[in-house]
Structure 1
Amino acid sequence: MLIDIKDVPEKAQRIFVQLIDIFEEQDINPTPLNYYIWYQYYKGDHPKFRQEMDNALQDPFGYNDRLGRRLYDEYFSDEHSGNDFDRAFKRLINLVIKKMNVWSDKLEKHTQDLNQYTTSLASKDIDAETLKELTHSVLNTASSMKQSSEEFQQEMLNSNEEILRLRKELIEARAETLTDELTEVGNRKAFNHAIQDLADSTQDNPQSLVLILTDIDHFKRFNDTFGHLVGDSVLRYFANLMKKTRDDTETVCRYGGEEFAILLSHSSLEKAKERAESIRHSLEIAKLKRKDSEKTLGKITASFGLAVYKGEEHETLDEWIKRADDALYEAKNQGRNRIITDEELETAKPLK
């Protein structure tokens, strides 16, 4: 394999995570050359090249394969600098270009030969022996063209397999960058992506989005008593409890520390409260034990804050998150192991 995305610099991984979505959104062919051009564009190391790309993207015709090939030839084809990833990717691009050029030369030669045979066959003075020779030459050329075409198709298939392999690795790398290593649910970055996507996709009915913020009560005291390894096990258990019972309308992420976020789409405040209560109760009755002892860890509880999205015309995403966080804080303030909604906070506010 020419490239392993997991071994490339972190900056390159972040760039390619973006490119997967960009290529799908803008219907750009996922060729090695196009990946490399856009990788360099987001990498931002060539101001003149970046300016030309900016100008092209403002044009009604936008970016296309022909432009990518020209930009590659002009700015990168003779470049020897860069990291190992850059050089490996360029080897793949140059290999594909070389195969295309060889095929193009063969096709041009075959076309010239056929044109020459056509001219000879059109002659009025052609005799039977010459006709036989020309016919034989035409058949040989056609056979050679077929063989060249099959060889080229196989070479392109091999290159395409390399591209598909790279794409698979990019998708896997994106999944890794969006997954919390300890709990194996989404991380804070995944949460940021999800909340923005959901808010954008439900602008007509923002009230169908509900955010649940939850964290384990007295977790620091628990960590100090039993140690961080046991604390990590509790976090994994809590995450699995939410993950294994979720449905397709839920996104579970570790928001930070012992705090988790659940985004519910196509939902309501009532349904979200039922979901939060189910999680709260399941954790409360769980009897967790240390691996080296039959003694339980004692009762473990969590508090929950809920908020319904009002829509971008009425609040920012940060304001929505803050309302859920305020509700969670109030749940802690009222004694923990309970659920508080933003509506309850509004009702509890004193009249001015």
Structure 2
Amino acid sequence: MTAQVETALRGPEAYALARRVVDAMQEASVWPTPLNFELWLHYVSDPEGPLGRELHRLLTGDAPFTDATAEMLAAEFLPRGRLSEEIRDVGAVLNRELAAVAEAIDNARKTQSAYGETLSSASARMQDAERPTDLTEIVSTLSTATRKVQRHTSALEKRLESSNREVVRLREHLEQVRRDAMTDALTNLANRKTFDEQLARLCEEAETEGKGLTLAVVDIDHFKRFNDTWGHQTGDQVLRYVASVLGRISRAPRVAARYGGEEFAVIFPGETPGTVEAALNAIREEIGSRSLRRRSTNDDLGAVTISVGFAERRPGETALGVLERADEALYASKRSGRNRVTNAEALAQAAA
């Protein structure tokens, strides 16, 4: 499921969205299977997106919408579907390689076994040989058998070399698939799933090792205005711009992710709140320092600003706890006029 849809399902209109999805499926006479529900979520949430347009085309045609159609759409448009398809393809190639290697090894084993029988037979015949021609015939038989063994051994070596190259290629391909599964396709930052896993892991490490951890949540100000005024393509341009600044400043061990929609998150393991606040203000100032232009028409889009909230993890605090406090600080930045960074701890002290 894309970050945009996940964000919609976590927002205040989540139940209304789910009802619209079910109504749309019922109107199209499509069974509400889990896969169909996910497809229709994308359709209802973003009817002008690639999946939405393709679903509309299929629904206005004469062909029935079947389970096979749903699988085809999932494989092409849903991230998990594409990932599963990639893994299945790699598995099929690997199975073919293993079968070919097994066959080559079996042929070599049979040849070696036959060669051993030939040697035993030749040894017995040599003891009984009475004429030089008998020895010549035995040597010729052994020479032929040896060449056959050499051919099969050479074939096996080539097969193993070829398979080794293919396995290396498959390993590299799977590594790329793994990276794709961890990355938001639009921004090339970590995706929501990777962020959740990393935050949970780093919170555990911070608790075990007694280290500090600070989490920041970043939101693009008035992003809906960009989309409504200039369209989704320009909105995507803005998202990529903000992500590029976040990604460059948030090098490892920091973790920058697209959290959902126009919202991002950055994890700062082992850094003090003062260092984090300085880094976040540097990000905010750099993002707001440029006046963007629409790529297709060169129209002036003006400056982009961000609002930020951050929270230092407290001892014993869960990943969800620190995330909620960072969110509260973000909304405080929004309420205070946007384009600013708010520390959750300072917010709590002010409220006390």
Shorter-chain TM-score range: 0.5 to 0.7
Q: Measure the CA separation in 1 of the matches of 2:135 and 2:212.
A: 79
Aligned residue in 2 for 1:152: 156
Within the candidate set 244, 247, 252, 1:243 is matched to 247
Paired residues, what number?
276
Aligned residue in 2 for 1:289: 293
Could you tell me the percent identity over the aligned residues?
Answer: 29
Structure 1 residue identity aligned to 2:243:
A
Deviation digits for residues 8-67 of structure 1, max 9, x if unmatched? x955834977xxxxxxxxxxxxxxxxxxxxx8xxxxxxxxxxxxxxxxxxxxxxxxxxxx
Which aligned pairs between 1:196-235 and structure 2 lie closer than 5 A? Answer: 196-199=200-203, 203-205=207-209, 207-235=211-239
Q: Secondary structure at the match of 2:257?
A: strand
Within the candidate set 112, 116, 137, 1:111 is matched to 116
Q: Measure the CA separation in 1 of the matches of 2:205 and 2:148.
A: 54
Shift of 1:319: 1.9
Q: Measure the CA separation in 1 of the matches of 2:111 and 2:138.
A: 20
Which aligned pairs between 1:199-348 and structure 2 lie closer than 5 A? Answer: 199=203, 203-205=207-209, 207-291=211-295, 296-310=300-314, 314-348=316-350
CA RMSD of aligned residues (A): 3.4
Within the candidate set 90, 96, 103, 2:101 is matched to 96
Shift of 1:90: 4.4
In structure 2, the CA distance between the partners of 1:101 and 1:179, relative to structure 1 (3 Å rule), is same
Deviation digits for residues 91-137 of structure 1, max 9, x if unmatched? 4443332222212212222233334455667x6x7779466765665
- 8 Å contact kept, 1:207–1:310: no
Q: Measure the CA separation in 2 of the matches of 1:12 and 1:258.
A: 24
Structure 2 residue identity aligned to 1:337:
N
Q: Measure the CA separation in 2 of the matches of 1:105 and 1:93.
A: 18
1:182 paired to 2:252: no
In structure 2, the CA distance between the partners of 1:127 and 1:343, relative to structure 1 (3 Å rule), is farther
Q: Secondary structure at the match of 2:259?
A: strand
- 8 Å contact kept, 1:289–1:296: yes
- 8 Å contact kept, 1:207–1:308: no
Which aligned pairs between 1:62-81 and structure 2 lie closer than 5 A? Answer: none
Structure (1 or 2) with the greater helix fraction: 2
Q: Measure the CA separation in 2 of the matches of 1:265 and 1:187.
A: 18
Q: Secondary structure at the match of 2:301?
A: coil
Within the candidate set 173, 177, 182, 1:173 is matched to 177
Q: TM-score, normalised by structure 2?
A: 0.66
- 8 Å contact kept, 1:186–1:254: yes
Q: TM-score, normalised by structure 1?
A: 0.66
- 8 Å contact kept, 1:217–1:337: yes
